[in-house]
Structures are given as structure tokens and as C-alpha cells.
Amino acid sequence: MHKTYLIFKHEFGQAIKRVGFIVMTLIVPVLALLAIGAYELVTTLTEPSVKDVMVIGYVDEVGIFSDHTDQGLIKLIPYPSREDATQALVQWDISEYIVIPSDYTSSGTIHRYTLAKELSTPAMIPYFIDSFLAWNLLKDEVPPEIITSIVSPLNLVVTRLDGNGEIAQEQGNIGNIIIPFIFSLLLSMAFMFGANSLISGLGEEKESRLIEVLFSSVSVRQLLIAKVLALGTAGLLQVLIWLLSAPLLLNLASASFGGFLSDIQLPANFLLLGVVYFILGYLLFAVFSVGVGGISSSATEGHTISMFYILMGFIPLWFFGALINFPDSPIWVVLSIFPITAPIQMMLRLGVSDIPSWQIVTSVGVLCLSIIAGLYISIKIFRAFMLMYGKRPGLAEIIQGLKTA
């Protein structure tokens, strides 16, 4: 136990001193702060001014659209003919113009002319034209407040209730998925860096034969368990820094960006389950990497083999678009329980679904069993092939090695 602790201490110290670890740990809060700072800077420099109000020309061939030309961000200027409007456009007096043809009231057709090469009409333009037309068409027919309602008839406010009919703690908007999604991305990167770091370390020790010196002092079990735990602890430190910095950054971000960011909520149990799945996922990828380190003849070869389970772990991210619409589909439930995909799948689903307790319990249980079985098998593989240099064993040899180790 004492030797396991000594190796743990050494490996943990080495892990957190690695440049890759420091960069990875700090890059998230630093990038977020930079993004907030950049946004503040840009918004300060580009504060909307009178000059930013868009000036649009129009030709009224019906003869009833003369009022309400100031639509806030858009100001409309009448022109007597299309030729005059075109002249103004090419001289950049206006940014575009519309023609309201004489048959508008029967056809509803409006023609828009612009110098810009665009895929589709910017969303704000039809809105303001709608408003302009409605106000002019109805100005003498109905009270202004009715016109306002006609222009903006819907302000949909959705309230999610829980099973008891009470207002639910999580209201299930886009803000709920943002943090789990970002956290899932970070988890996947952390798993990948952790696995690579372990394989590199074992590769260095195998290539330099230091592994033999170590095994003349400690057992295979002591060395590998200490390495896995040290790397897991370093990873946990990393994720705690991210999680602890999240509320602070959210406050800063919502103060700066406002909008939906102000609505961002962390799903219930997110912190607890985030830490649990992080630890279990990290340990699972680490024990796989120990096995890979045992059979690889070099660190480079180990990294190549490890891509198999690392990429498999990323599957939930690839299909995030489908997941977000049908979070409780059976396939996502299966991936929530399959140990390699479970950590990231669960994090993503937390933001969009109320995951039943049985799924969480099953998923955590399967992960725990997989880690124990993986560690047992990886130690056996490592013991069988640790002294095999320059040659990777085939599948038959691995099976034979598992029987004899």
C-alpha cells in the first residue's frame, strides 16, 4: 500500500506538471474569459448609432403607404418611381428598395431590389416590411394596440410542470443543454488526453526498460493501480477547476451577452453526476489504456490502438442532433448503459431529458463492473506482455497470455 502511494504521488506530480495538462486545465476558463472580453470589446466599439439605422427606399404604386415610415431600426423613404429608387440605390443613398405594386391589395406581392448578393432575405427585413404595411393598411380601421397585436400576435411563454403539477425546477430551454454539451466535449477531450498520457508514460517506461527496474521494486498491480488512480485524480482536479469556474463564468457571460445565456440553468444533479461520470469514465479509459500499453511495442502504436475506444466514446457527440430531439429513444438508452459511451451520453441526456433513476443506477453499475473487470484483464495482459519488446502479440497470443498470466 505504501509503495502504491509513493507511485501515486510521483505520477500525480508528473501528470499535473505536464504542459498538456496545464494548458488543457486553464484553456477552458481562459478561453471563456477571452470570449466574454472580446464580446464586450466588440459591443463597445460597435455600439448602435443613428448611422446604423437601415435606410430602405420604397415606391408606393397603390398610394396608401405614406405613414409609419420610421420602423425603429429601419427607416423607409418614398420614391416617386422605380427609376428614382434605382438611382438612389446605385448611389448608395439607400441600401435597398421595395416596390408596392398597384395590385398589391389583391396579390399581396412586394418586389425587393438590392445590390447585395445574398442567399436569402435577412430575417429582419420582412418583419419590418410587414409592420410597415400593417400599420398603413389598418391605421384608420382599428386602434393602434390592435395593430400592434396583429404585427406581433404571439409572445409564447412556456412553463414546464412536474409530475405533481407544480412548476418544474428545470424549464427545459436551450440554456439547459449548453453546459452539459460543453461539459461533454471537455470530458471527451479529458478522456483522450488521459488515455494518451497513460500510454505515453507506459511506452516511455517500456522503451527505456525502466519498467523492469520498477518491477524489481513493486508489483505489476501496485504500479498500474497507482498510475490509473494518479491520472484519475489529476483529471478530477482538472474537471473540478472547470466546474467551479462555470458558475462564475456563467454570471459574467450572462451579464455580458444577456439573452438566452441569462436563462442557462445547470440540470439538477448535474454537478454530482458530472463528477461521478467523469471519474468512472476516466478510470474506464485509463484501464483500457493500461491493457493497450501492455501489448504495444511503442507509445505511437499504443496511441493508434487507443483511437478505437476513444472514438467509440465520442459516438454520442456525433449524433447529438438526433439525440436532442428524441432523448429517450431506445438506442440512446442503450448507449447510456454501454460503458464506453455511457459517460458522455448521460451528460448529454441530462440537459434534455429526465433520465429515470434505474437507467442511472444501471449505467453506473455497469461502468463500475467494467472498470473492475477491465483492470483485472489489463493487469493480466500487462503482466503477460510487459517484457515483449518490438513485437505486438496477436489475438491468439493475447488469449493465451490471459490464461497463463
Partner 1 sequence: MTAVEVNHLHKSYADVTAVHDLTFSVEPGEILGLIGPNGAGKSSTIKIILDFMKPDSGDVKIFGKQMDEAFKNQIGYMPEERGLYKRLTAIDLILYLASLKGMDRAGAEKRANVLLEQTGMLENIKKKNKEMSKGMGQLIQFIITVIHDPDLIIMDEPFSGLDPVRTETIQSIIGDLRDDGKAIILSTHQMTKVEELCDRVLMINKGRTVLYGDIMESREKFRRNSVLVSVDGDLGDLPGVIEIKPGKDSVELVLAADTTPQIILDRLRERGITINQFEVKTPSLNEIFLNLMGADHA
Q: Which residues bind partner 1 (CB under 8 A)?
A: 3, 6-7, 10, 14, 204, 207-210, 212-219, 386-387, 404
Q: Closer to partner 1 by CB, 356 or 394: give it.
A: 394
Shortest reach from residue 374's CB to partner 1, in Å: 23
Shortest reach from residue 225's CB to partner 1, in Å: 14
Q: Closer to partner 1 by CB, 2 or 117: give it.
A: 2
Instruction: Quote the CA–CA distance of 138 and 18 in Å, as a whole number.
Output: 70
Q: Tell me which H or E stretch contains 55.
A: strand 54-60
Shortest reach from residue 1's CB to partner 1, in Å: 12
Q: Closer to partner 1 by CB, 3 or 111: give it.
A: 3
Q: Closer to partner 1 by CB, 182 or 214: give it.
A: 214
Q: Closer to partner 1 by CB, 160 or 209: give it.
A: 209
Shortest reach from residue 10's CB to partner 1, in Å: 5
Shortest reach from residue 198's CB to partner 1, in Å: 15
Shortest reach from residue 20's CB to partner 1, in Å: 13
Q: Give, rounded to a whole angstrom, the gap between the first and last alpha carbons of the chain.
A: 22
Shortest reach from residue 298's CB to partner 1, in Å: 13
The single residue listed with the C-alpha cell 448529454 is 348
Residues paired with residue 55 on neighbouring β-strands, in sequence order: 75
Q: Closer to partner 1 by CB, 137 or 214: give it.
A: 214
Q: Closer to partner 1 by CB, 180 or 203: give it.
A: 203
Counting runs of H as helices and runs of E as strands, what totals does the chain give?
A: 17, 4
Smallest CA-to-CA distance from 65 within 133, 19, 129 is with: 133
Q: Closer to partner 1 by CB, 96 or 205: give it.
A: 205
Smallest CA-to-CA distance from 374 within 286, 296, 287 is with: 287
Shortest reach from residue 156's CB to partner 1, in Å: 59
Instruction: Quote the CA–CA distance of 241 and 247 in Å, as a whole number.
Output: 11
Shortest reach from residue 22's CB to partner 1, in Å: 14
Report DSSP letters for 56-105, one per residue.
Answer: EEEEESSS---S--B-SSEEEEE-SSHHHHHHHHHTTSSSEEEEE-TTHH
Buried b (16+ CB within 10 A) or exposed e, 125-155: beebbebbbbbbbeeeeeeeeebeeebeeee
Instruction: Quote the CA–CA distance of 340 and 337 in Å, as a whole number.
Output: 9
Under 8 Å between Cβ of 281 and 344: yes
Q: Closer to partner 1 by CB, 102 or 208: give it.
A: 208
- The one-letter amino acid code at 290 reads V
Smallest CA-to-CA distance from 288 within 224, 220, 201, 375 is with: 375
